[in-house]
Amino acid sequence: MKRLEVKKMSLSLKSIRDCLLQENLLKEFIVAEKWQLTLPDSLDNRLVKDISYDSRTVTSDTLFFCKGLNFKEEYLEKAIQSGLELYISETPYDVPATLGIIVTDIRKAMAVLSMAFYDYPQNKLKLIAFTGTKGKTTAAYFTKYILDHTTNNKVAMLSTMNSTLDGKNYFKSQLTTPESLDLYRMMAEAVKNEMSHFIMEVSSQAYKINRVYGLFFDVGIFLNITPDHISPIEHPTFDDYFYCKRQLIAHSKTVIINHESDYFSLLKEMATLKQVPMIVYGTEKNEAVDYSYQTIPGDSLSFTIRSAKDPLNINGNYRLLLGGDFNKGNALSAMIASSLVGATQKDCQKGIQEATVPGRMELLTNNNNAKVYVDYAHNYDSLKNLLAYVKEEHPTGRLIVVIGSTGNKAISRRKDFSKVLSELGDVAILTTDDPADEDPITICKQIEEHITGDVKIRTVLDRAEAIAEALRISQPEDAVVLAGKGADQFQKIGGIDTPYPGDYQIAESIIWHSKK
């Protein structure tokens, strides 16, 4: 997408000092190699006209954030050689800068200063945030489709798959939740584009490393929690992962919680202790559930919403384009969130019926009539739910699964995938899925060594060839599942996003060419 230029903001050094003092983040200033607690009068009104954490994009008027585990002093030195005069860091550096601002926490400082620099754009938008181990992207898309009807397409969205700041043009997301500086720049761009609502996914990492420090959401939705992202470079334990996830509850003005989520009682207790108004949804009809959903017999895509009091006026029948009972729960969470910020029941019905999600439950038919499902399922719960649904839809055939696992993160998923494949799969074709700096052969072997039972295992590292192999061996009663990549059009290899056509496009092309 062609990016719109956000009007350049500015912030005085005095304002920066005051902001840091208010948050108790300021340690000292370094001026002319001297440490001091006050700014010289000559610098009080000096304006910062840009902020950056990329040493390659600085000028004399940039405030440069020295952040990240991989930060090196040489980055700062090169930036100063390019004209940089102002830097902010947790560590004093012996460099010829006009001013060094030393803080206790660089990421918190970057968050609060980014807010101020972009004139607090979050206050000019209705903010809706989803967290959970699975379903965030689908629920976010449901919400956008609903609110597009409410606002006449004035809804911005940041999602794992695609993001939009003008409600129409989409671009590839690099992180589930962007760095704070990028987040507020994007919010400011959405405000410039006259957006009224801003939907985003909030990852556990966003709280762990303070990307959303100090940010409060109008509506926060907690979908579910299961072990994921457990690795030395993400969360060392499930307890750490869960703690970071549930911070969304403490930073929402109203929270929506899934009654079927593991540890629901703890989530409810946290909302109560923090005095956050709470709406609970689920499949059960009981006193703890405010809104429940049930599938309409004879139509697996239709469901009914019921509430004893229905304060949001959303009781009624709805129909999805996406299969799977789990998507009905995602849809209900989106309807509740949308209703809280202005949507009507009619908006909900239209939006839910129209909603599609790139790479989620996309369906093709092979030339021999075997069904081919493309889905982004990339952790234990999402893969298990997907395969269970497909197995139920195709009880007499084999389940052929093409799957890999990402490198450099979420290492626990490899054993998780093995468990699901052992329980539900008939044929597993192991392949490449964003190996990053790891050897994809090693990743596949780590999945294979934990698979038990009668699952037939093949390893085909080239993902396009793995998809072709799955389609080739399929029989009319079988179902082929292409899991993990969804609509993603890149493979992360080393530090490079390598272009990749996408699972759906590859499968569709193979099917089309085999007809000739």
Reported as half-sphere exposure (CB side, CA atoms, 13 A), residue 269 has a value of 4
Q: Is 404 annotated as a binding residue?
A: no
Q: Residues with Cβ < 8 Å from 136, sequence gap 6 or more?
A: 130, 159, 160, 176, 201, 223
- What DSSP element (H or E) covers 420? helix 412-424
- State how beta strands 47-48 and 50-52 pair: unpaired
Q: Is 134 annotated as a binding residue?
A: yes
Distance CA 235, CA 177 (A): 16
Per-residue three-class SS string for 335-379: HHHHHHCCCCHHHHHHHHHHCCCCCCCEEEECCCCCEEEEECCCC
Q: Is 135 annotated as a binding residue?
A: yes
Name which of 44, 61, 188, 199 is nearest 114 in CA terms.
188
Give the helix, strand, coil percentages of the chain, each rounded to 5: 35, 25, 40
385 phi, psi to nearest 5 deg: -60, -40
Distance CA 322, CA 338 (A): 19
Q: Is 60 annotated as a binding residue?
A: no
Contact predicate 478/397, CB 8 Å: yes
Q: Is 83 annotated as a binding residue?
A: no
**DSSP 8-state code for residue 120:** -
Distance CA 471, CA 473 (A): 6
CA distances from 479 to 85, 203, 320 (A): 61, 32, 21
Name which of 14, 5, 94 is nearest 47 in CA terms.
14
Name which of 397, 401, 392, 381 is nearest 451 in CA terms.
401
Q: Is 55 annotated as a binding residue?
A: yes
Contact predicate 144/348, CB 8 Å: no
Name which of 32, 131, 57 is nearest 330 in CA terms.
131
Q: Is 137 annotated as a binding residue?
A: yes
Q: Is 304 annotated as a binding residue?
A: no
Name which of 325, 109, 286, 141 is nearest 210 in CA terms.
109
505 phi, psi to nearest 5 deg: -65, -40
Q: Is 283 annotated as a binding residue?
A: no
Q: Is 126 annotated as a binding residue?
A: no
CA torsion, ordered 175, 180, 184, 185, to nearest 10 deg: -70
Fill in the amino acid letter for 47. Answer: L
Binding-site sequence positions for ATP: 132-138
Binding region:
55, 132-138, 176-177, 203, 211
